[in-house]
């Protein structure tokens, strides 16, 4: 984490986006705390009211959802007993800002058994519910190989480990609930360079995985941090610009960055 200030994470310092697993072990006490996005919880609570749109749970995933909730609650110092809860992850989601995806092992590989999503980065709950890792990653460059590697990690990670990775992109605006990226792309395309400083935001996804010792499911957490690029220190802007311009054609195409180029030219230095 980058000190106590904003933005809390700066994954562009590692260079352009790569479609790789890139998971690193972290200290278990850093799993969910500090919740750097706790200020978004009131907005999240409003979205959670529509539980049909934000929550999914397979009946078979209920014991694992309870186990995940108990484990996360303990890590956060919450005194909760989810053992009778019918929607434990949905309840937990009122207290932690991270989106929560429970992956269940099965004969056809790992599948989404339950999820709470209020800050999806251009995918939706109906799209993800029940899907395998291969189905989910089909649109990603090299997605098939990536999914096979992710499955291997899920198979072998130990219950006492917490693994962390990051994704990032730029977007036109600070929208957090974005099941579809098209409105953000249209906004970027229509914007004038004079608007760049107020419009361009960096969106970081901080993801973790944790194996549940009893059910053997994996809890995948996604914390979305959104900050205006205008607020970044000049050294950080330079690192972000270098990573943006260093991305290869496949990454730029997949992330649909072309619509942002004129805004990035106005908001960030040229490397
Ligand atoms: C820790 C294991 C995982 C790794 C290493 C991983 C890796 C990736 C990567 C590299 C991308 C491309 C995104 C980008 O860079 O912008 C991606 C996209 C995505 N991932 Fe994962 N992923 C993991 C687990 C999951 C899980 C458990 C889900 C379950 C919901 C998931 C759902 C998705 C979706 C929906 C996309 C967007 C695909 C699209 O463009 O339609 N991922 N993932």
Average pLDDT, the chain: 96
Q: What is the pLDDT at residue 271?
A: 82
Q: Which of 68, 34, 11 is nearest to 247 (CA)?
A: 11
Residue 43 has pLDDT above 90, yes or no: yes
Rounding to the nearest 10 degrees, give the CA dihedral for residues 47, 79, 207, 216.
-110
**What does the pLDDT look like over 192-224, one tens digit per residue?**
999 999 999 999 999 999 999 999 999 999 999
- pLDDT, position 4: 64
Is 116:99 a contact under the CB 8 Å cutoff? yes
Ligand 1 site, residue 220, Cβ cutoff 6 A: yes
The whole-angstrom separation of Cα 229 and Cα 200 is 6
Helix (H) or strand (E) holding 227: strand 218-228
Measured from the Cβ of residue 161, the count of other Cβ atoms closer than 10 Å reads 14
Residue pLDDT, tens place only, 59-87: 999 999 999 999 999 999 998 789 999 99
Q: Is the shortest distance between the CB of 114 and ligand 1 below 6 Å?
A: no
Nearest CA to ligand 1 atom 32: 136
- For 154-176, the pLDDT digits (tens) are 999 999 999 999 999 999 999 99
pTM, two decimals, is 0.96
Confidence of residue 5 (pLDDT cuts 50, 70, 90): confident
- 143 CB under 6 A from ligand 1? no
Q: What percent of the chain has pLDDT over 90?
A: 96
pLDDT, mean of residues 100-128 = 97
CA angle 198, 201, 202 (to 5 degrees): 155
Q: Is 167 in the pocket of ligand 1 (CB under 6 A)?
A: yes
2: pLDDT confidence band, cut at 50, 70 and 90? Answer: low
pLDDT (0 to 100) of residue 179: 96
CA distances to 134, 169, 222, 223 from 146, in Å: 8, 19, 18, 21
Which residues sit opposite 227 in a β-bridge? 202
Q: Phi and psi dihedrals of 168, rounded to 5?
A: -150, 160
CA-nearest residue, atom 33 of ligand 1? 136
143 CA distance to ligand 1 centroid (A)? 9
Question: Is residue 3 scored above 60 in pLDDT?
Answer: no
- Ligand 1 within 6 A of CB of 209: yes
What are 212-265's pLDDT values in tens digits?
999 999 999 999 999 999 999 999 999 999 999 999 999 999 999 999 999 999
Residue 1 pLDDT more than 70?
Answer: no
């Amino acid at each position: 984490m980058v000190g106590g200030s904003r933005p809390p994470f700066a994954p562009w310092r590692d260079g352009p986006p790569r479609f790789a697993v890139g998971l690193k072990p972290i200290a278990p006490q850093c799993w969910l705390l500090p919740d750097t996005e706790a200020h978004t919880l009131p907005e999240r609570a409003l979205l959670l009211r529509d539980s049909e749109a934000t929550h999914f749970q397979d009946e078979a995933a209920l014991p694992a959802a309870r186990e995940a909730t108990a484990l996360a609650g303990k890590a956060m110092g919450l005194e909760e007993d989810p053992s009778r809860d019918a929607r434990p992850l949905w309840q937990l989601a009122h207290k932690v800002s991270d989106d929560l995806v429970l992956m269940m092992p099965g004969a056809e590989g790992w599948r989404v058994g339950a999820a709470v999503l209020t800050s999806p980065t251009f995918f939706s709950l109906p799209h993800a519910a029940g899907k395998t890792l291969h189905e989910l990653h089909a649109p990603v460059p090299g997605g098939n190989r990536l999914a096979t590697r992710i499955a291997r990690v899920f198979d072998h990670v130990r219950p006492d480990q917490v693994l962390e990775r990051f994704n990032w992109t730029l977007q036109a605006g600070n929208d957090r609930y974005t099941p579809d990226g098209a409105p953000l792309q249209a906004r970027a395309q229509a914007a004038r360079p004079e608007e760049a400083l107020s419009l361009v935001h960096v969106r970081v996804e901080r993801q973790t995985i944790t194996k549940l010792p009893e059910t053997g499911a994996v809890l995948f957490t996604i914390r979305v941090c959104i900050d205006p690029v205008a607020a970044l220190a000049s050294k950080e802007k330079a690192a972000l610009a270098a990573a943006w311009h260093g991305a290869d054609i496949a990454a730029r195409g997949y992330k649909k960055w072309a619509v942002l180029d004129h805004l990035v030219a106005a908001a960030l230095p040229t490397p």
